[in-house]
Amino acid sequence: MAEEQYPGLREFMTARGGALSRAAYLLTGDRHLAQDLVQSAMLRVLRHWRRVSDTGPEAYVRKTIYHVYLTGRRRRRIRELVTGQVPEPPPVDPHGRSDLRISLDRALAVLSPRQRAVLVLRYYEDLSEADVAAVLDCSVGAVKRYAHDGLARLRRIAPHLVDNVTEKAEA
């Protein structure tokens, strides 16, 4: 019944759901919140699915994910809960990529929602400044400012990430 109502939805989510979830994870820093974000965005998209699915739904869905993320962040601020127990250390990663990923997640969590969204769109999604401005409904100048401020803040709080990128570029 649902497949008749939303033709192509299953195929779209099978093909692009992983990429959408990865982008949402970079925004939220939490797998469960990322899944919730994608689901919330898809609920909004379903109202317009027949119209959107004919023109290629990915851009529309991605834009909706970023808007749901930004509006959700404005409504509620999640406070960090301090506990008396120290969590177990993560398992050792023989490739060293987990440490880098954790550092990046922590650094991105410090940024404002707009800075984080701009950096994810610019450098993970590899969109142009004009495309980022279109997705976030803001000016190109605002995108440049958020990117500049976000990168400057990342350089201050996580200089080892910049060193890691520089080393890989030289190699």
The domain boundary, picked from 47, 78, 109, lies at 78
Interatomic CA distance for residues 103 and 91, integer angstroms? 15
Residue 53 predicted with pLDDT over 80: no
Token pair 């192509």 in the structure block, residue: 8
Asked, for residue 15, whether it belongs to a domain, the answer is yes
The band of 1, judged by pLDDT with boundaries at 50, 70 and 90, is very low
The domain boundary, picked from 78, 106, 134, lies at 78
Count of domains for the chain:
2
Q: Are residues 6 and 69 in the same domain?
A: yes
| Of 24, 9, 1, nearest in space to 125 by CA | 24
CB 121 within 8 A of CB 135: yes
CA atoms within 13 A on the CB side of 165: 11
71-125 tens-digit pLDDT: 875 445 545 556 667 667 656 655 556 677 777 888 888 899 999 999 999 988 8
User: What range defines the domain where residue 162 resides?
Assistant: 93-171
Residue 147 predicted with pLDDT over 70: yes
pLDDT at 55: 79
| Of 146, 72, 153, nearest in space to 115 by CA | 146
Interatomic CA distance for residues 157 and 171, integer angstroms? 24
